[in-house]
Amino acid sequence: MVALKRERIRESILALNSLLRLICKSPEVYRLDAALASALVSQGALASLSYCYLLDGEEKRILPLSLNTVKRQADVLIDQGGYKTLDKRRVEALKAITRQDKHEAQPSKRTKVGLLAAVDSLEELVNSHRRSNFRILQGLNRCMDAIKTIRDCEDRELRKKRAADAIKDILAILSINESPFDVLLSSSVVTPIRLPKS
């Protein structure tokens, strides 16, 4: 009984994390959902959310939990920041829905006001991508430094420690980015690039 309850809590926290990432990616799908909109307003409201949704044809269920339970379990279950990352995604999801609402309310692009609003929106998107690219470049720079120090180290234990420290630093740098650029995809999702034969 206890194990079943623990597993449901675990699945609920992971489903909540996935839902927040989905909202950040596609706010237009979720912007009219009143239950979600009110849940994103505060940490407590999000913790008490009861919600079901489909992800890749599989039903995901979010159970209402206490805020303390969500914080404690998220720290264990969510890589790269635990509950802080989950709350950051809540705020980003709320911003994404707010931006989408503003976008929907903007005048037609056929008017001067509409075109200016579209330009502002696109400039903000470009600036967001620039910030993400800058952080990704910092992560790559840290990777290169780590490879050099690990390559030159002869002590096996020190090499392991330096590799672990470098991975931790890189993940911390990337976690500052806005979703979906705040997490590394698993290697099973990444398609290798094949260079043409010369």
The domain locations on the chain are 1-105, 108-184
pLDDT of residue 190: 46
pLDDT of residue 104: 66
Q: How many residues does the chain have?
A: 198
Q: What is the 3-state secondary structure (H, E, C) of the chain?
A: CHHHHHHHHHHHHHHHHHHHHHHHHCHHHHCCCHHHHHHCCCHHHHHCCCEEEEECCEEEEECCCCHHHHHHHHHHHCCCCCHHHHHHHHHHHHHHHHHHHHHHHCCCCCCHHHHHHHHHHHHHHHHHHHHHHHHHHHHHHHHHHHHHHHHCCCCHHHHHHHHHHHHHHHHHHHHCCCCCCCCCCCCCCCCCCCCCCC
Separation of alpha carbons 89 and 13, rounded Å? 13
pLDDT of residue 193: 53
pLDDT of residue 187: 47
Q: What is the pLDDT along the chain (198 residues), one digit of tens a residue?
A: 667 778 888 888 888 888 888 888 888 888 788 888 888 888 888 888 888 888 888 888 888 888 888 888 888 888 777 888 888 888 888 888 888 777 666 666 677 777 787 788 789 888 888 888 888 888 888 888 888 888 888 888 888 888 888 888 887 777 777 766 776 665 444 455 555 554
